Amino acid sequence: EYIDEHGLCQICEALCAKCRGPTQEDCTGCPGTRIFDDGRCVLNCPSGKFEFKNQCHPCHSTCQECQGDEPSNCTSCGVDKHGRERFLYWGECRESCPTGHYPDEDHTCRPCPDNCELCHSSHVCTRCRRGYFLVPSNRTCRQLECGQGEVQDPDYEECMPCEEGCLGCSLGTSSPFFLKVEITVSFTHPHPVIPSTGTLVIVVTISIH
């Protein structure tokens, strides 16, 4: 009950356990089956709010729906309270999806296909991770496999020939450049105990800074 302007007790609206007026927006307390939300007793909190101790509380400004008031408690995203479009990634509503993910129609960041760095959907890749190249026919990524005497060029996603005489080599911007060269030398040894001819294999490592 509540006291009206004439000092008389009046019955609260049926949904209220306690009230300060006659309407369902005048509740000050709710029965156990209802949740208190800004003067009303509701079954569920509206979008943009979460329940805590039988009351509805606002989500963080970046969330559309949530399970708590922190920015990492979001459960769905859309356009935030400031008009910015956001996308759900591990409980946060971000302005853009991280590398290796794309936004779907539900404003959720989904993983790109395997070995894909940038993509438009789960089937269409636009840029591959290092060591892979894009297959134009199906927009998927395949691993780059260089042959003997070749090295991968990370900038152009292709194989480059090593220096002449190299069986293998490597590229690096900040690390030394190493070459291994096998040199076969024929020699004649004058000592009678050792065979007069033989083959000596010398492995030379060159470090260029």
Domain assignment of residue 75, yes or no = no
**What pLDDT, on the 0 to 100 scale, is given for residue 177?**
45
**What pLDDT, on the 0 to 100 scale, is given for residue 81?**
83
Q: How far is CA 17 from CA 10, 39, 46, in A?
A: 13, 11, 20
**What pLDDT, on the 0 to 100 scale, is given for residue 40?**
95
Domain assignment of residue 136, yes or no = no
According to DSSP, the residues that pair with 156 across neighbouring strands are none
Domain assignment of residue 69, yes or no = no
Distance CA 69, CA 21 (A): 30
Q: Which of 152, 171, 169, 172 has its CA nearest to residue 205? A: 169
- In the structure, what pLDDT confidence band is assigned to residue 156 with cuts at 50, 70 and 90? low
Question: Which of 146-155, 179-188, 195-204 is the most confident on average?
Answer: 146-155
Domain assignment of residue 169, yes or no = yes
Degrees to nearest 5, angle at CA 35 with 33 and 37: 155
Domain assignment of residue 164, yes or no = yes
Number of separate domains in the chain: 1
According to DSSP, the residues that pair with 166 across neighbouring strands are 181
DSSP one-letter code for 85? B
pLDDT tens for 55-66 read 999 999 999 999
Domain assignment of residue 120, yes or no = no
Degrees to nearest 5, angle at CA 199 with 194 and 203: 125
The one-letter code for the residue type at 119 is C
